[in-house]
Structure 1
Amino acid sequence: MAEKIEQILFENTPEINDLAKLCIEHNNIERDLYAKYEVKRGLRDLNGKGVLAGLTNISDVCAKKIVNGEEVPCAGNLYYRGYNIKDLVKGFLDAKHSGFEEIAYLLLFGELPTEQQLADFNGLLGKRRSLPPTFVRDVIMKATSHDMMNNIARCILQLYSYDDKADDTSIPNVLRQCLNLISQFPMLMVYGYHAYNYRMGQDLYIYAPDPTKSTAENILMMLREDRKYTKLEAKILDMALVLHMDHGGGNNSTFTTHVVTSSGTDTYSTIAAAMASLKGPKHGGANIKVTQMFEDMKVQVKDWTDEDEVRRYLEALLNKEAFDKKGLIYGMGHAIYSVSDPRADIFKKFVKQLAREKGCEKEYALYELVEHMAPEVIAEKRKMYKGVNANVDFYSGLVYSMLDLPKQLYTPIFATARIVGWSAHRLEELENVDKIIRPAYKPLADYKEYVKLKDR
């Protein structure tokens, strides 16, 4: 009987496949109709420019400048609350302290903290690095999943049950909830990973976070059985968190945050919805695809320094003959940046250091070769409306692999950072807009007369 239930619930039976054909037949819309009715697919015009859907003070993604009255592509810049990300990174590196907490303060509260404000904020987050009593046993250890994004989203939704003011959407209460989730997220991620491995027969070790350590240090410490990490490892993971913290209001998961917040729902439901968006391989899951693509490339390309052999592999990717046969070179290109992604530019400088420390110079050289060669190959094979460059996902997968982070945590690491941006945007939406987001869709189906069941 159990096998019968498993087959019904988790297998595509012939009945399901037949019904799926009906779904495909009656859901298909001719592509040229989108142009006919001037529908902005993906909420972007034909030049890739996003449709204006809101206003924000939190961050700005800049990839064009005005020259002689016309917009022209330029080197990309990312601004948090008006500050260039390059200046922010240089600032905390020069000061020799972690950046995550300082930049989180900036995004949430709109200004850079003083030394005392930063110390107080670090203490505030440190005190909140805890979970309700028995939560690890009753929630995290039960019904574990191989996919950590789903696992974490489930835990976030479950935290709703422990909050007596879960539905209170006042700014002070939402801020409290957001600060809790920002502090708890590394624990939900790491503990969920260990719990799944325990279910798979491995040893279980659950370490309490250290309130005196940074977010990046706590992640590495809680993840590793020996709790050890180098200063460079912590510095680069901290930088990865800062670079992924926010990226304008229009990226898919942040727009999801605005949309769901506008409905008036609670913080836990909102963040879980953003998690669902970020999980997708076209968004937060892209760095896993980059890593998997390079793993395949390292097997198929015998000489990683042979430019002709590497070029042939890249051409095979575009021709849908290699890797997942999707016709994509993962990690190349971005919806907004056409000359350079500032996050990738910053990251790259430190990736080389880490590659030397880890003895991965050959892998780094291959990534660098692909970074230079891929735009040429894409330009030869594709009609493009803008330039193509390496995005932040191109190098982040390599960094995470050198940090010995499991692939199951690549996207959750992204979420650990982006939850700060989601929180800031949720607070901004609640403060400024009291109207549910509801765009229009044009109906295409003809009106029909109802036919009684016996006459069909």
Structure 2
Amino acid sequence: MDKKKEFSLFEVTPEIEHFARLCDQNNGIDKELYTKYEVKRGLRDLNGKGVLAGLTNISDVCAKKLVDGVEVPCAGNLYYRGYNIKDLVKGFLEDKHFGFEEIAYLLLFGELPNEKELGVFHDTLVERRTLPPTFVRDVIMKAPSRDMMISLSRSILNLYSYDDKADDTTIPNVLRQCLNLISEFPMLMVYGYHAYNYRLGEDLFIYAPSQELSTAENILMMLREDRKYTELEAKILDMALVLHMDHGGGNNSTFTTHVVTSSGTDTYSTIAAALASLKGPKHGGANIKVTQMFEDMKKVVKDWKDEDEVRRYLCNLLEKNGFDRKGLIYGMGHAIYSVSDPRADIFKVFVKQLAQEKGCEEEYALYEMVENMAPKVIAEKRKIYKGVNANVDFYSGLVYSMLDLPPALYTPIFAAARIVGWSAHRLEELRNVDKIIRPAYKPLAEHREYVRMEDR
């Protein structure tokens, strides 16, 4: 008898390679057919305008204005429940309090809270900063993943098993579940990170969240062994959470939330699906690519102040001769914004302050140079249908690195903010639309007669 060959589930075998060639051979579609049948790839037209798929009161992204009856690009604005994000940020900064809880209230319930209402909401979130008994030991500590988004998805799906009303999709029950997840998310994120590092041989420390601290402060406190952070660090992380909280109904993960909610499934499955979407490098993982690109740039470019040398590096990126050879300058451009991303504009002011506190002025100056230079280089090298500008991911990676946050948590922090928006959109979908989302795809394969095995 022949000796059975060794086999691994995690190996791409010659048989798999053969099947993959068949997949590639039989799945190709002529790109011109998308134009012929007026298919909006990515559900967007060539000018970046999205296909209308729903209605929302939660947030609005504006990047154009009407001039003499014609839409023209303008400086971008983001509105939460009708309020300009710039005014909201200015408001809580001038009042000298953290913004996460206040803006979460606004997105979930539609109005800005007064002092008493905010106090009740804050207390509601605080009392839910807890996990089921033994959950850390039985779920988070077992088989920890190197990817924190996978760890988070697994933890959230496991929470389903602890909820006696997991499948109840009435508004009060879904709101209860959403508030639980918003409160628990920082713990799931930080504990998952510590659990994985413990498996790698590092010390394990698990700190309970403090009732006195804000969401941003708790993240920093639970993450750091000495529990210490500066006021500016907490303020900037809080701002990052607010700026990432929502971005209209059409972004990939929020649209996923609407699609999955429309099927009638439970809250835990819905949020896990949104996390899977956000995990993608074209969505939530973009700031990691920005950070990696700049790390490569700092090695290749000898003089960070030499504009010609920086320009050559950027040109090499676009020509697929540098970094990951994808032909992209990460952090530049956005599906909607063409003149400016308001989140990046707000971030930039505070990034500079943090750079001064951390002694990273030279690094900040390099980012600023690339921000100004990249749109011109892209315009020279590429045919573009709208303007190109720095998006929020361009600076958020720098912020997180200066906060000494591990890259493994960059996307989870995005998710810790966006879960508020996902929750608001899930509640809105349940309240207004009792119809499953099911778009159309045009079939191209010709109908064929079945051929019996002996005749193939």
TM bracket, shorter-chain basis: over 0.9
Secondary structure of the corresponding residue to residue 160 of structure 1: helix
Structure 2 counterpart of 1:209: 209
Hey, what's the Cα distance between the residues in 1 that align with 2:211 and 2:323?
43
Rounded to whole Å, the distance in 2 between the matches of 1:6 and 1:233 is 52
Q: Give the match's secondary structure for 1:10.
A: coil
| Correspondence for 1:266 | 266
What residue number does 2:181 align with?
A: 181
* 1:169 corresponding residue in structure 2: 169
Q: Render the CA deviation track for 1:23-50: whole Å, top value 9, x for unaligned.
A: 0011110100000000000001121100
Determine if the alignment matches structure 1 residue 283 to structure 2 residue 283. Answer: yes
Partner of 1:21: 21
**CA offsets per residue over residues 327-375 of structure 1, 9 Å max, x none?**
0000000000000000000000000000000010011000000000000
Query: Alignment partner of 2:74: what SS?
Result: strand
CA distance in 2, matches of 1:47, 1:348: 27
Structure 1 runs, 4 residues or longer, greater than 6 Å off: none
What's the secondary structure of 2:9's corresponding residue?
helix
Partner residue of 1:297? 297
Alignment-derived partner of residue 106 in structure 2: 106
Structure 1 SS opposite 2:64: strand
Alignment-derived partner of residue 310 in structure 1: 310
1:146 deviates by 0.5
Q: Kindly tell me: are residues 34 and 147 of structure 1, through their superposed partners in 2, closer, same or farther at Cα, counting changes over 3 Å?
A: same
SS at match of 2:164: coil
**Residue 248 of structure 1 corresponds to which residue in structure 2?**
248
Report the residue type matching 1:299 in the other structure. Answer: K
CA distance in 2, matches of 1:106, 1:10: 46
Which residue is equivalent to 1:319?
Answer: 319
Percent identity over paired residues? 83
Q: Per-residue displacement from partner, 1:144-194 (whole Å, max 9, x unpaired)? A: 011000110000000000000000000000000000000000000000000
Aligned to 1:62: 62
Distance 1:30 1:188 in 2: 44
Q: Evaluate the alpha carbon distance shift between residue 179 and residue 6 of structure 1 in structure 2; reply closer, same or farther with a 3 A threshold.
A: farther
1:47-446 → structure 2 map (5 Å cutoff) = 47-446=47-446
Aligned partner letter, 2:74: C
Amino acid in structure 2 at the alignment position of 1:98: F
Residue segments in structure 1 that go unaligned for 5+ positions in a row: none
- Going from structure 1 to structure 2, the CA distance change for 1:374 and 1:134 (only over 3 Å counts) comes to same
> What is the alpha-carbon distance in structure 1 between the residues aligned to residue 46 and residue 79 of structure 2?
26
| Cα distance in 2 between the residues matched to 1:291 and 1:191 | 24
CA displacement 1:225-254 (0-9 Å, x = unmatched):
000000000000000000000000000000
- Alpha-carbon displacement from aligned partner over 1:364-397 (angstroms, at most 9, x marks no partner): 0000000000000000000011000000000000
Deviation by residue 1:184-239 (Cα, 9 ceiling, x = unmatched): 00000000000000001100000000012100000000000000000000000000
2:26 and 2:280 map into 1 onto residues whose CA distance is 25
- Partners of 1:195 and 1:284 lie apart in 2 by 22
Specify the alignment match of 1:39 in structure 2.
39
- Per the alignment, do residues 5 and 333 of structure 1 end up closer, same or farther by CA in structure 2, a change over 3 Å counting? farther
Q: Distance in 1 between matches of 2:133 and 2:418?
A: 27
Deviations 1:254-284 (A, max 9, x none): 0000000000000000000000000000000
**CA displacement at 1:6 relative to structure 2:** 8.8
Q: Counterpart of 1:289 in structure 2: which amino acid? A: K
Using the TM superposition, name which of 112-121 and 395-404 deviates more: 112-121
In structure 2, list runs of 5 or more residues that go unmatched.
Answer: none
Matched residue SS, 1:72: strand
- d(CA) in 2 for partners of 1:46 and 1:37? 14
Q: CA deviation at 1:8?
A: 2.4
Q: Tell me which amino acid in the other structure corresponds to 2:56.
A: T
**C-alpha distance in structure 1 between counterparts of 2:364 and 2:6, whole Å:** 45
TM-score (norm 2): 0.99
Q: Say which SS state the counterpart of residue 61 (structure 2) adopts.
A: strand
| SS of residue matched to 2:138 | helix
Q: What amino acid does structure 2 have at the position aligned with 1:56?
A: T
Tell me how far apart the structure 2 counterparts of residues 66 and 455 of structure 1 sit (CA, whole Å).
Answer: 64
Q: Deviations over 1:285-304 (max 9, x none)?
A: 00000000000000000000
Task: State the one-letter code of the partner of 1:100.
Answer: F
TM-score between the two structures when normalised by the length of structure 1: 0.99
Q: Which amino acid aligns with 1:72?
A: V
Cα distance in structure 2, aligned partners of 1:95 and 1:67: 37
- Partner SS, residue 232 of structure 1: helix
RMSD: 0.9
Give SS of 1:9's match: coil
Q: Within 1, Cα distance between the matches of 2:257 and 2:146?
A: 25
Tell me the equivalent position of 1:447. Answer: 447
Q: CA deviation at 1:7?
A: 4.5
SS in 1 for 2:446: coil
- 1:5 positional shift: 10
User: The residue matched to 2:8 in structure 1 has which SS?
Assistant: helix
Q: How many Å separate the matches in 1 of 2:325 and 2:345?
A: 28
* Cα shift at 1:454: 1.9
Counterparts of 1:280 and 1:430 in 2: how far apart (Å)? 26
